[in-house]
Amino acid sequence: MMSAARPPGHACETYVELKARLREISDLGSLQGLAGWDELTMMPSGEGAAEARGRALATLAGVIHAKSTDAELGALLRDAKPTEAKDVANVKRATEAYEKSTKVPSAMAKKQAELGSRGYQVWAKARAEDDFTSFAPVLKEWVALVREKCALVSPEKATYDASMDDYERGLTSARLSEIFTVVRNGVVPLIEEVYAKKTPTILAGKNNPLLGEFDVEKQAKLSERVAVALGFDMTKGRLDVSVHPFTGGCGPNDVRMTTRYKANDLAESLTGCIHETGHSLYEQGRCAEYAGQPVSEAHGMGVHESQSHLWERMVGLSEPFMHFLLSELKTEFPKDFADVTPEVLYAAFNCVKNPSVIRVESDEVTYPLHVILRTELEMGLLDGSIEVDQLPELWNEKMKKYLGVSISNNREGVLQDVHWSSGAFGYFPTYLIGAILACNIFNAAKRSIDSLEDKISRGEFAELREWLRVNVHERGSECDSADELMMLVTGKPLDAHEFVDYLRAKYVKLYDL
Amino acid sequence: MMSAARPPGHACETYVELKARLREISDLGSLQGLAGWDELTMMPSGEGAAEARGRALATLAGVIHAKSTDAELGALLRDAKPTEAKDVANVKRATEAYEKSTKVPSAMAKKQAELGSRGYQVWAKARAEDDFTSFAPVLKEWVALVREKCALVSPEKATYDASMDDYERGLTSARLSEIFTVVRNGVVPLIEEVYAKKTPTILAGKNNPLLGEFDVEKQAKLSERVAVALGFDMTKGRLDVSVHPFTGGCGPNDVRMTTRYKANDLAESLTGCIHETGHSLYEQGRCAEYAGQPVSEAHGMGVHESQSHLWERMVGLSEPFMHFLLSELKTEFPKDFADVTPEVLYAAFNCVKNPSVIRVESDEVTYPLHVILRTELEMGLLDGSIEVDQLPELWNEKMKKYLGVSISNNREGVLQDVHWSSGAFGYFPTYLIGAILACNIFNAAKRSIDSLEDKISRGEFAELREWLRVNVHERGSECDSADELMMLVTGKPLDAHEFVDYLRAKYVKLYDL
């Protein structure tokens, strides 16, 4: 047992002991990651299995909560005085987490875990059966629980700001509003111009080569090959199939990513796989020296999304990438792509969806509005201006208003995303933050790496991956906010104008606006 | 916090609280089961993944150990006074486990988990490379650790008896010697007679229809269909592939079994799958009312093996089963089995291996000697009469002496089994105990179920499965020993003579002795 009053001069031993305790918490977290992955990919379908898993995860969450709120951990955090900058940041991140955790009672932590597991099952069934009313009670439980939690953890903050802090450290509604205003003002008119043109100029009168019938096993092979080419290390991870693609698992040496395949749509599986590969490269690239320590963890979800979006969009949807990809497509589907040029392939991958109904199937132009819609709704849920029962109607109204879409069922509307089933309010905005950061970071990489686009067209991704590892992945959670990290990576804070400029330049050319 | 001195009259609440704590330990155990299964089936191959998993499992073992040795748990065990027989047994089993655990220091429990994970990796590599010397250091660590542990837990017992108690409650070296003597005296001369005849009479001059080239994917389909026909519930479990077949997972509602397939040998995958199905049916049949409680757990490994051996041998290798199986084989491999009769198939499945080298590929006649060999060696390791470095030589000498086999490499010798890599000394004898119990239990089932063999020949397994569920599976750990359980199931203790009689009668007929 350690006494609360420690003798002076033992800061170094204190820090060593602190790191051991933090690592134990991380070890148990890796088992949460495993159980969560298994639940979505491998677990048998019987209700008993799901119930038992929910109970086991709740018990484990209770154990982790107890370790994370142990008074001895608090004393170590107070007394450890490391001097290296990375260690200082490590203690800072651990202290923030400790302060958050100690404010959440064990019963509440257990309830969160249990509701997360149950919520997923209920959501999956409700979505399959297009039945929002069966999901609404779970969502009400989540709104109440998140409000209760935020009031305990950050009573000084608005509920939404407090909840968002769990996903993107240091991001506020005020900064978000600044950023989203720039995007909305730039993107809404762009969509109108694009919709007026209907199709990319080069595709006019042609078939889209990505639509057709594509053997799912061949798609899986192709996806795996592309992921490996980008740098996914199969000795440190797996690629499986799940209803909703995700990246999770047990840490940098055991990253589990999933994707899904549709026989009639090649684009979705490919872009989905490249997206998750971006997440996976971040995870596999984390700082080994600080393994198991908070500072080695990803900065936050916005920066995580910057990596998935960078690989998916800035690389995977770029003109140079089409040269590499086309040769891969010709290997797996020789007949379908015999007569396709890189230019046509580029246009096919970058058609703006009209209508744009499903977020994960949408394109980079309409995507921002999907995020803004969800963000507005969840802000309303948490500030009490919107009731859960109003969600389907409000969702459909906003889809009409922002994207001109009529939603005919909740399956394709309010039930399409998994996030709310785990109470992840404040997660959605990180997708748009990530898209903007991806653009900012890729522009910085282009300035640093000679002929990057030529290299991409030749399928040479190692230099970019290494640049990202050093500049983003290994930095982990050193910074207090994404803006601060961007100062180190690009020399300026997040720049939404650059994102809007990128979109406009690209789609003006594609659609001959 | 609960005080050690509880007020009287709260025995009922005490038992409720006790059960909640035991259930938490079981919940965490289910995550150990998941992580263990994943390690052998899904985990990426990189060393970093294995290291991280080893550390995570060691941390979890430490948590479970802390919960299992909590003084408050001890007080609850002392004060809970349930009256129902099943609850009384529940407290008894929990108390035994508590007493064992409290004698093992946390550091030792962690070391066991870590060595188990590392040991498996080292063994798998050593086996692949036929390199006993790289495995020997791990084995020495295990011998030292198990001795140290047994001396702490059961100082009054010989090390081997103490270690065996972890696998088969109440079994002693003395009783084992009594049983093994009967078997050795009966089986050794039987093998000599069988070897003199070379082949089952009906197979003389014929090809064995189970040897050839069989598509592995078709084998997998066939195995799954047979497992489901026997009663494996795929909504409460999975069937995957691993180097060494096993049954594990997360409890009765999520049973993970594995098998392996060889393109040139149909018998191994089928009998292996039926064997694991037997284990799985036991797990899936456990008493739901006492889920998460010690009394609902399997009685021990011997009884567990009785269920796998009953389905594999008493059912799967029986004459009646061949009528059912042949129609399944004709579905999957129509050409290969067009002209095969049930009688020929029966003989093909029941050829006594000569030479008999690999335990899991052996037959029911030579199998007992494989077990006896391993039991003698591990007894010697623990009592100090045998050194780890002598194992390969002694293994090969005994193989020559008992089964007339010359072993040319350790891959097919001392490195063939996974068990010692996890320090499971005392596990092997439970295989032979299980084989004997299987015979005893099946004979009792035949007395209870009308025309059981006719039903088996028609593929009707539900009545037998239900009889086993009620008589064995749901009884869980109610009894103090396998002999006591047998009194309830068959009306007499384990009967080794019945096993020898069964073997002799079967093989006299097959080989025309």
The pLDDT tens digits of the residues spanning B241-267 come to: 998 899 999 999 999 999 999 999 899
Sequence-distant (6+) residues with CB within 8 A of B9 are none
Percentage of residues of chain A with pLDDT beyond 90: 90
| Cβ pair A48:B254 closer than 8 A | yes
| Predicted confidence band of residue A10 (pLDDT cuts 50, 70, 90) | low
Residue B238 has φ and ψ, to the nearest 5°, of -135, 160
**Best residue in A121, A250, A293 for a mutation probing chain B (most B CBs within 10 Å):** A250
Q: What is the C-alpha separation between A79 and B58, in angstroms, rounded?
A: 27
**pLDDT higher than threshold 80 for residue A6:** no
- Residue A26's pLDDT band, with cuts at 50, 70 and 90, is very high
Strand-by-strand arrangement of the B237-241 sheet:
B237-241, B255-259, B247-249
Looking at residue B240, its amino acid is: D
User: In the prediction, which pLDDT does B117 show?
Assistant: 82
State what percent of residues in chain A have pLDDT above 70: 98
Q: Is B335 exposed, middle or buried, given 0-12, 13-18 or 19+ CB atoms closer than 10 A? A: exposed
* pLDDT of res. A11: 65
Rounded Cα gap, residues B319 and B336, in angstroms: 20
pLDDT reported for residue B113? 80
Say what the pLDDT of residue A319 is: 98
Task: Say which residues have a Cβ less than 8 Å from residue B4's Cβ, sequence separation at least 6.
Answer: B71, B75
- pLDDT for res A5: 43
User: Which pLDDT band holds residue A502 (cuts at 50, 70, 90)?
Assistant: very high
Please report which confidence band the pLDDT of residue A490 belongs to, taking 50, 70 and 90 as the band edges: very high
* CB < 8 Å to A258, chain B: none
For A63, the closest of B34, B63, B238 (CB atoms) is B63
Q: Torsions phi, psi of A247, nearest 5?
A: -120, 130
pLDDT of residue B501: 98
Residue matched to tokens 């399997």: B298
Contact A149, A113 (CB under 8 A): no
pLDDT at A117: 82
CA distance B366 to B399: 11
Distance CA A115, CA A141 (A): 8
Residues of A in Cβ contact (< 8 Å) with B234: 44
Catalytic residue among B39, B168, B268, B276: B276
Q: Is the pLDDT of residue A4 over 80?
A: no
Q: Measure the CA–CA gap between B187 and B503, rounded to whole angstroms.
A: 8
The confidence score (pLDDT) of residue A135 equals: 98
Contacts 24+ apart (CB under 8 A), A182-186: A182/A496, A182/A497, A182/A500, A183/A368, A183/A372, A183/A432, A183/A436, A183/A496, A183/A499, A183/A500, A184/A368, A184/A369, A184/A372, A185/A500, A186/A496, A186/A497, A186/A499, A186/A500, A186/A503, A186/A504
Q: Which residues of B touch A (CB under 8 A)?
A: 23-24, 27-28, 30-31, 34-35, 38, 42-46, 48-49, 51-53, 55-56, 58-60, 62-63, 233-238, 250-254, 291
- Confidence (pLDDT) at B6: 45
Cα end-to-end span (Å), chain A: 71
Across the interface, whether the CB atoms of B34 and A38 are under 8 A apart is answered: yes
- Tokens describing residue A457: 């067209």
Give pLDDT, residue B7: 46
The single-letter DSSP state of residue B352 is: P
A63 and B28 in contact by Cβ < 8 A? yes
What count of other Cβ atoms lies within 10 Å of the Cβ of residue A205?
A: 6
* Segment B26-65, tens digit of pLDDT: 999 999 999 999 999 999 999 999 999 989 998 999 899 8
Please give the model's pTM, rounded to 2 decimal places.
0.89
Is the per-residue pLDDT at B284 higher than 90? yes
User: Which of A33-37, B38-42, B203-207, B308-312 has the least mean pLDDT?
Assistant: B203-207
**Active-site residue A276, yes or no?**
yes
Query: Span A93-108, mean pLDDT?
Result: 91
User: Which of B49, B56, B236 is the closest to A44 by Cβ?
Assistant: B236
Quick one: average pLDDT of B174-188? 94
Which is more confident, B243 or B15? B15
Q: What is the pLDDT at residue B277?
A: 98
Pick from A42, A238, A291: which is nearest to B238 by CB?
A: A42
Q: Are B91 and B51 in contact (CB under 8 A)?
A: no
ipTM higher than the 0.85 cut: yes
Q: Is B239 helix (H, G, I), strand (E, B) or coil?
A: strand
pLDDT attached to residue B1: 32
Say yes or no for a CB contact (<8 Å) between B250 and A34.
no
User: For residue B222, what pLDDT is reported?
Assistant: 96
Report CB contact under 8 Å: A49, B235: yes
B292-308: average pLDDT: 97
- Do residues B472 and B442 make contact, with C-beta atoms less than 8 angstroms apart? no
Q: Looking at the predicted structure, is the pLDDT value of residue A464 above 80?
A: yes
Q: Which residue of A has its CA nearest to B21?
A: A59
Cβ-based contacts of A289 with chain B (< 8 Å) = none
Element holding B203 (H helix, E strand): none
Type of residue at B349: F
Q: What is the pLDDT of residue B11?
A: 65
Structure token digits, residue A387: 């009731």
> What is the arithmetic mean of pLDDT over A110-120?
88
Residues contacting residue A356 through CB under 8 Å, at least 6 positions apart: A362, A363, A366, A369, A370, A403, A405
User: Is residue B4 predicted with pLDDT exceeding 50?
Assistant: no
Per-residue pLDDT averaged across A362-372, rounded? 96
Residues A210-237 pLDDT 10s: 999 999 999 999 999 999 999 999 999 9
User: What average pLDDT score do residues A107-115 get?
Assistant: 86
Give per-residue pLDDT as tens, B390-431: 999 999 999 998 998 999 999 999 999 999 999 999 999 999
Residue B345 CB partners (closer than 8 Å, separation 6+): B209, B210, B322, B325, B326, B329, B337
CA-based nearest distance B96→chain A, Å: 23
pLDDT band at B72 (very low <50, low <70, confident <90, very high): very high
Q: DSSP character for B362?
A: S
Strand pairing report for A247-249 and A255-259: antiparallel
pLDDT band, very low/low/confident/very high, at A372 (cuts 50, 70, 90)? very high
For residue A144, the one-letter residue type is A
Query: What's the rounded Cα separation, in Å, for the pair B407 and B410?
Result: 8
pLDDT beyond 70 at B441: yes
Neighbours of A144 (CB within 10 A): 11
